[in-house]
Amino acid sequence: MAGTPKVDIPRERILCEAEALFAERGYYAVTIREITKAAHCNLAAVNYHFGNKENLYMEVFRCLWKPRAKRVLARFESILGAKREVTLAGIVRAVAEAFIKGPLSDDERLRHSQLMVREMAKPTEAFEMVVGEVIGPFQQKLADLIRPFMDREMGQVSLLLQIQSIISMVIHFNFARNPVMRITGREYDARFKDELVEHVVQFCLSGLNGVGKGGNP
């Protein structure tokens, strides 16, 4: 079973299992029969509780994805708020920690980013909702936080590209575990995640030069 829901009613079980399956294999690869079987309930339960498959998919984003995203953002705020003064390094570290370690379990984090990546590849109504209500506002807030550290004459687009670059890295290290593990030969244990956070912070702050000497052999 994929993550134990607090209330053990069929509706919750369906949502939970549906999310896990949608994340892993995508909307069309998953059948209602699979979902209801995993949730130990009758085939008709999906249509009874959610109307149809498409709305079940939307409800996954409304009831599970969105609250979880908010938990991550709350963690970000919390990490940032704990600091005496806000620095550029502090902001980046807060992002990296919230997204790569954060309040989510490993399974949750994987599901979460897989669903998002699938939406980025082919956006549906869910994407509109999530960008409008969660991701968009967050990136704007991040831009406002970072702007004071940037050149005065830097355009808003440039600023947003900086944000996107940070985000692209944390998304990548979350959802592309497979290639990352395969190429680096490392497991996603606590130690490796610490290294990942450290790496993201270093890279975002000073790029390749941050750890290099810049010398030519």
Partner DNA sequence: TTGACATTAAAACATCTGTTTAATACATAT
Partner DNA sequence: ATATGTATTAAACAGATGTTTTAATGTCAA
Q: Which is nearer to a copy of itself, 5 or 127 (CB)?
A: 127
Q: What angle do CA 65, 145, 91 make, to 5 degrees?
A: 70
- Classified as helix, coil or strand, 77 is helix
Partner that binds at residue 149, options DNA, a copy of itself, none, CB closer than 5 to 8 Å by kind: a copy of itself
Partner that binds at residue 39, options a copy of itself, DNA, none, CB closer than 5 to 8 Å by kind: none
Q: State the nearest-atom distance from the C-beta of 53 to DNA, in Å.
A: 4
Q: How far apart are CA 61 and CA 25, in angstroms?
A: 16
Q: Which is nearer to a copy of itself, 103 or 127 (CB)?
A: 127
Under rule CB under 7 A, residue 32 binds DNA: yes
Look up residue 90 and give its amino acid.
Answer: G
Window 44-103: residues binding DNA (CB under 7 A): 44-49, 51-54
User: Which member of 5, 10, 12, 24 binds a copy of itself (CB under 8 A)?
Assistant: 24
User: Tokens representing 124?
Assistant: 């549906």
Under rule CB under 8 A, residue 88 binds a copy of itself: yes
Residue tagged 């940037």 (tokens): 150
Partner that binds at residue 46, options a copy of itself, DNA, none, CB closer than 5 to 8 Å by kind: DNA
CB 68 within 8 A of CB 98: no
Partner that binds at residue 148, options DNA, a copy of itself, none, CB closer than 5 to 8 Å by kind: a copy of itself
CB 125 within 8 A of CB 61: no
Q: How far apart are CA 208 and CA 217, in angstroms?
A: 16
Under rule CB under 8 A, residue 106 binds a copy of itself: no
Q: Which of 66, 88, 91 is nearest to 77 (CA)?
A: 91
Q: How far apart are CA 64 and CA 47, in angstroms?
A: 19
Look up residue 185 and give its amino acid.
Answer: G
Q: How far apart are CA 139 and CA 7, in angstroms?
A: 33
Neighbours of 12 (CB within 10 A): 17
Q: Which is nearer to a copy of itself, 105 or 158 (CB)?
A: 158
Under rule CB under 7 A, residue 126 binds DNA: no
Under rule CB under 7 A, residue 181 binds DNA: no
Contacts to a copy of itself by CB under 8 A = 24-29, 85, 87-88, 92, 114, 117-118, 120-123, 127, 131, 135-136, 139, 146, 148-151, 154, 157-158, 160-162, 164-165, 168-169, 171-173, 175-176, 178-180, 182-186, 195-196, 199-200, 203-217
